[in-house]
Chains A and B, each alone.
Chain A
Amino acid sequence: MATTTKVSALPLDYKATQKPRTLWGDAWRRFRKHLLAMLGSTALIIIMLGITFGPLIWTLDPTYIDIVDSFSGMTAEHPFGTDNLGRDTLARVLYGGRVSLAIGVVAMLIGILIGTLVGLLAGYFKFLDSPLMRLTDMFLSLPLLPLLLVITLLFRDSLRVTFGPELGIFILTVIVIGCLGWMPTARLVRGEVLSMKEREFVVAARSLGAPDFRIVRNHILPNVLSPVIVSATFSIASAIITESALSFLGLGFPPDFPTWGRLLFDGKDFLTLTPALVLWPGLMISLTVLCVNFIGDGLRDALDPRITK
């Protein structure tokens, strides 16, 4: 990574005892001081560890029906209780978390990748600006849900045959959500790039004869990272929620396949009877989204050298 601080002005003996400071080192130092961000990361890591290794420890099958034990309260046998068919809520929440988080992260990566690329190109190259931004407008004006329905209808069967029902729908869902969620990122990035490319250091780099690719990579991209990271956090949240909506409309995963959104929708009918069915998946969705937002907040502060406390 590029070093931005020259340390030659410091006293010689000081320099010998201190490691050179880097952009990322500084960022990490600032990030650690951000209390909420650290709390968020800790909680998210715990959730991630839980859903990754939890099912190995809590080995109940999330789809196993034990009708005799329906609506069980929080017992040692079922710490989170059971649903109307006697399926264990803890196992379902753990298993559902894998799917929901995987969808959130992968869809976010796809969206961010496309969004950043479009934003950089539109902001940096004037001749691409207008066509790319009109494309973005066009995507923004597309009604998301009907489009999702049509795409799922068209490609569901062929993907199901190729990859099986679960993986097929996973691929379809993340691609569709990712490809329809890049527009806000693209707009943000373009705006930042537009202001950035008039800055002195970019003008300096250009006057030194640096090629466009290097200017974008070394000077502009690191400086537009903070809005990208913030919108990435929002993308994860909205991807989890969009997947829930799809499942509810019957175009997502099979109805017995647990995801957090599906558990929430299934549980809402029993809100007065056994609130735990809604409480746990709801809590997990909120907690995850909150954590990711705190982390985004912390990262933004940490990565922006202009914000100093």
Chain B
Amino acid sequence: MKKPVLKIGALVAVLLLLTGTLGGVFAQDGETVTILYWQAVSNMNPYLSGGTKEIDAASLVLEPLARYDETATMIPWLAVEIPTVENGGISEDLMSITWKLKEGLLWSDGTPVTSADAVFTWTYCTTEETGCAQVANWTDVTNVEAVDDLTVKVSFGVPKPFPYGPFVGSTSPLIQKAQFEACVGVAAQGCTEQNFGPIGTGPYVVEEFRANDVVTYTANPNYREEGKPFFQRVILKGGGDAESAARAVLETGEADYAWNLQVLPQVLASMEAAGIGTIMNVTSSAVERIHINQTNPDPALGDARSVWAEDGSNAHPFLTNPAVYQALSMAIDRQVIAEQVYGPGGVPTCNLVAQPPIYASSANDSCLQQDMEGAKALLDEAGIVDTDGDGVRELNGVPLRILYQTSTNAVRQANQALVKQWWDELGVETELRNIDAGVFFGGDPASPDTYGKFYADVEMFTNTFDGTDPESYMAQQQCSEVSGPDNNWLGNNVSRWCNAAYDELFAQLSQTVGLEARAEIVKQLNDMYVQGGGIIPLINRADVSARANSLEGVRMNAWDAELWNIADWTRAQ
């Protein structure tokens, strides 16, 4: 009879012990900083994982030659300076770039960093069997050679106006040749010890790595800056969800830093009111937008549903009409969406490329103000009026009924509900649908609910680009990228928007040198796309994280690894 009591007693004791140790793990002190990533880290090698969490976790250890700071300015990191055409670092014909390493750099095991490591990094990632996730950084690279111990020359097969792909940013750091030499090609995935504990030049070294759980770091004794880092230990804890991570930093103070807080602004604000933490927003290039289907998604079409035809035979019955998509955009009050749904993390935008500022066009800014009367007048003038008295306008006898889909997320559903109310007022009947994010973004060609299949009239999601150069982002709107059955519905052009003039101008962009000239072309491309009804841009979203008030020196960065300057973090006394 006593046994169950004993068992329960033992269980309670174990639970108490566990919570006790957890409490110990999370205790704030001057030696340790605790960071929460609610998506847990599975690997410490950014070349074998495309996930932000792995790249951020590795950025404490592995470093690139140059990176972007929080203002999107490129700064030299392991390199002495940023190579340009002016200082001779980039050849006149734009076919090569030469980097110079800082002198006296040491790996955390005490051996010197040399250009051979850079050459090895290139070999490692571009060996096909490695399965490198960052291979896009090495596009057009034909050779990487060590000119001397501290000089690396990267050669390209074509003129490269923007040669800052290799060795720049958190997705392209140096790895140590001595450590990874045996891990090239098919062996890459099997090198658990290396992938879980890479040797780097960064402020921290991995002490313990538990996949999909916790990473413990200690300070790198060979770090190049004297007296840094301030914290002797970093604990990067994974798991949970955004809301509980936010609570741990803002309300209970168990952790110092929480990443990527996709939580409704009212909820976040109520947590911040506890006064022990601060919410941080940094501008990023992410834009929440409504994609307009250029093709007909009518279920009656069977296999031809939402399939783009070059001759325009399968065009959408009313959404390709300029009056319709302009009116839909004018009817939306982006200020209200930004304030009520995205909070301080969102700024209204009318552009595909909203950041960095140099690329942002001002030609479409009229949409920032809602103009319901103007939208109604526009439709009336175009003859799109309600002829049968059911409150829904018709174009050539086709009623303006829209199916509006997006992923399941409290923020998005609130956004949907608002837009529906405005469109209903405009005389466009809107039906909402939300789809589980795993399915919606899953890319399964058999599912009818993926964003690429687009079996709806309009759909909403966010897209963004890495780094600061939008070239690859602009490439997504080309006719060749149209999503359809031939590319398993994985084409980037989900709106199925095709314009020969756009494709021509884009070809110019990839051969244009000079930031100003490139920015001008990007703006023109952006205007073509937005004014041509490819999307209705809504909100330029910010990255949102939280930090404890006692944590100082945090400079959150949307253009590179978020934890890029962790060596400068300190604890307030």
A residues apposed to B, CB below 8 Å: 63-65, 67, 70-71, 84-85, 87, 153, 157-158, 160-161, 165, 248-250, 254-256, 266, 269-270, 272-273
Q: Within the complex, what minimum Cβ distance (angstroms) separates A57 from chain B?
A: 24
Interface residue? B431 (CB, 8 A): yes
Q: Known contacts A70-B340, A250-B408: does B418 contact A85 (CB below 8 Å)?
A: yes
At the interface, yes or no: B212 with Cβ under 8 Å from chain A?
no
Cβ contact of B267, chosen from A64, A65, A87, A270, cutoff 8 A? A270
Q: Which 5 A-B pairs have the closest CB atoms?
A: A250-B434, A157-B299, A254-B432, A255-B434, A250-B435
Closest residue of chain A to B421 (Cβ to Cβ) is A65
Residues of chain A within 8 A (CB-CB) of B455 are: 157
Q: Name, among A65, A160, A255, A256, the residue most crowded by chain B CB atoms within 10 Å (CB to CB).
A: A255
Q: How many A-B residue pairs have CB under 8 A?
A: 71
Q: Are A165 and B431 in contact (CB under 8 A)?
A: yes
B residues with a Cβ closer than 8 A to A are 243, 263-264, 266-267, 270, 299-300, 336, 340, 408, 410, 413-414, 416-418, 420-421, 431-436, 439, 447-449, 455
Assess the B417–A256 pair: CB atoms within 8 A. Answer: yes
CA distance A250 to B447 in the complex (A): 14
Most buried by A among B340, B414, B431, B435: B414
CA distance A172 to B413 in the complex (A): 23
Of B336, B413, B439, B447, the residue contacting A255 (CB under 8 A) is B413
Measured CB to CB, the closest approach of chain B to A30, in angstroms, equals: 40
A256 touches B266 (CB 8 A): no
B417 cross-chain contacts in A, Cβ below 8 A: 63, 65, 85, 87, 255-256
Give the residue name and chain of the A residue nearest to B300 (CB).
A161
Instruction: Give Cα A82–Cα B536 distance, bound, in whole angstroms.
Output: 29
Shortest CB distance B430–A (Å): 9
The docked-state distance in angstroms from the alpha carbon of A297 to that of B435 is 39
Q: Are the C-beta atoms of A67 and B267 separated by less than 8 Å?
A: no
Set of chain A residues within 8 Å of B413, measured between Cβ atoms: 255-256, 266
User: Which residues of A have CB within 8 Å of B448?
Assistant: 153, 157
Query: Given the complex of chains A and B, what is the CA–CA distance between A269 and B244 in angstroms?
Result: 11
Known: A250-B436, A256-B420, A273-B270. A67 touches B336 (CB 8 A): yes
Residues of B within 8 Å of A254, CB to CB, are: 431-433
Name A257's closest neighbour in chain B (CB-CB). B432
| 8 Å CB contact of A84 from B243, B300, B414, B439 | B414
Residues of A within 8 A of B431 (CB): 165, 254
Residue of B nearest to A65 (CB): B421
Contact B436 A269 (CB under 8 A): no
Q: Please indicate the chain A residues that have their CB under 8 angstroms from the CB of B416 in the complex.
A: 255-256
Residues B266 and A270 in contact, CB atoms below 8 Å apart: yes
Chain A residue numbers with a CB within 8 Å of B299 are 157-158, 160-161
Q: In the complex, how many angstroms separate the beta carbon of A60 from the nearest chain B beta carbon? A: 14
A-B contact pairs, 5 of them (CB 8 A): A67-B418, A158-B299, A250-B433, A250-B439, A266-B413
List chain B residues, Cβ under 8 A from A157.
299, 448, 455
How many Å from the CB of A82 to the closest CB on chain B?
Answer: 12
Minimum CB–CB distance from A16 to chain B (whole Å) comes to 64
Of residues B418, B434, B436, which shows the largest number of chain A Cβ atoms within 10 Å of its Cβ?
B434
Write the nearest CB–CB distance from A158 to chain B, whole angstroms. Answer: 7
Other A-B contacts than A255-B416, A256-B416, 6 sampled, CB-CB below 8 A, are: A84-B266, A249-B408, A255-B417, A256-B417, A256-B432, A270-B266
Q: Report the Cα distance A157→B431, complex, angstroms.
A: 13
CA distance A71 to B299 in the complex (A): 39
- Chain A residues in 8 Å Cβ range of B436: 249-250
Whether the Cβ atoms of A248 and B447 lie closer than 8 Å is: no
In the assembly, what is the distance between CA of A166 and CA of B266, in Å?
A: 30
Given the known interface contacts A65-B417, A84-B266, the answer about A153 and B340 at a Cβ–Cβ threshold of 8 Å is no
A85 / chain B contacts, CB cutoff of 8 Å? 340, 414, 417-418
A3 to B448, CA, bound (A): 58
Whether the Cβ atoms of B447 and A269 lie closer than 8 Å is no
Q: By CB atoms of chain B within 10 A, which of A67, A270, A272 has the most?
A: A67
Of residues A64, A84, A165, which shows the largest number of chain B Cβ atoms within 10 Å of its Cβ? A84
Residues of A close to B433: CB separation below 8 A: 250, 254-255
Shortest A86–chain B CB gap in Å is 9
The complex places the Cα of A70 from the Cα of B417 at a distance, in Å, of 14
Smallest CB–CB gap between A123 and chain B, Å? Answer: 39
Cβ contact within 8 Å between A273 and B340: no
Among A70, A85, A87, A153, find the residue whose CB has the most chain B CB atoms closer than 10 A.
A85
Closest Cβ of chain A to B399, distance in Å, is 13
CB distance from A214 to the nearest CB of B (A): 49
B residues less than 8 Å from A87 (CB atoms): 417
| Complex contacts, A266 vs chain B, CB 8 Å | 410, 413
Q: Which single member of B243, B336, B420 contacts A269 (CB below 8 Å)? A: B243
Give complex CA distance A160, B264 in Å.
Answer: 31
Cα–Cα distance between A269 and B247 once the two chains are bound (Å): 13
Chain B residues whose CB sits within 8 angstroms of the CB of A70 once the complex forms: 266, 340
Nearest CB of chain A from residue B222's CB, rounded to whole Å: 46
Q: How far is the CA of A158 from the CA of B448 in the complex (A)?
A: 13
- The interface residues of chain A lying within 8 Å CB-to-CB of B439 are 250
B432 and A255: CB pair below 8 A?
Answer: yes
User: In whole angstroms, how far apart are the Cα atoms of A68 and B356 in the complex?
Assistant: 33
Is A272 a contact partner of B270 (Cβ separation < 8 A)? Answer: yes
Once the chains are docked, how many angstroms separate the CA of A273 from the CA of B264?
A: 11
Question: Chain A residues with Cβ under 8 A from B432's Cβ?
Answer: 254-256
- Chain B nearest CB from A253 CB (Å) reads 9
How far, in Å, is A277 (CB) from chain B's closest CB? 11
Least CB distance from A183 to B in Å reads 27
B299, closest chain A residue (CB): A157
Min CB–CB distance A69 → chain B (angstroms): 12
Q: Shortest distance in angstroms between A24's beta carbon and chain B's nearest beta carbon?
A: 47
**Chain A residue with the shortest CB-CB distance to B412:** A255
> A65's contact among B243, B408, B418, B447, by CB below 8 Å, is which?
B418
Among A84, A158, A160, A161, contact of B340 (Cβ-Cβ < 8 Å)? A84
Query: Bound state CA distance, A84 and B300, in angstroms?
Result: 38
Q: Which residues of A contact B336 (CB under 8 A)?
A: 67
Nearest A residue (CB) for B339: A67
**Is the pair A273, B414 in contact by a Cβ cutoff of 8 Å?**
no
- Please report the C-alpha to C-alpha distance between residue A85 and residue B340 in the assembled complex, in whole angstroms: 8
Chain B residue contacts of A65, Cβ below 8 A:
417-418, 421
Tell me the bound Cα distance from A128 to B318 in angstroms.
Answer: 57
Distance of A250 Cα from B450 Cα, bound (Å): 13
Contact A273:B266 (CB < 8 A) given known A65-B417, A84-B340, A266-B410 = yes
Residues of the A chain whose Cβ atoms lie less than 8 Å from the Cβ of B267: 269-270, 272-273
A153 to B447, CA, bound (A): 8
Q: Which of A70, A256, A270 has most B Cβ within 10 Å?
A: A256
CB neighbours (8 Å) of A161 from chain B are 299-300
Contacts of B410 in A (CB 8 A): 266, 269
Partner of A67, one of B270, B300, B340: B340
**Chain A neighbourhood of B435, CB < 8 A:** 250
A248 proximity list for chain B (CB < 8 A): 408
Contacts of B266 in A (CB 8 A): 70-71, 84, 270, 273
A267 CB to closest chain B CB (Å) equals 10
**Cα(A169)–Cα(B266), bound, Å:** 32
A269 to B414, CA, bound (A): 12
> Residue on B with the closest CB to A86?
B340
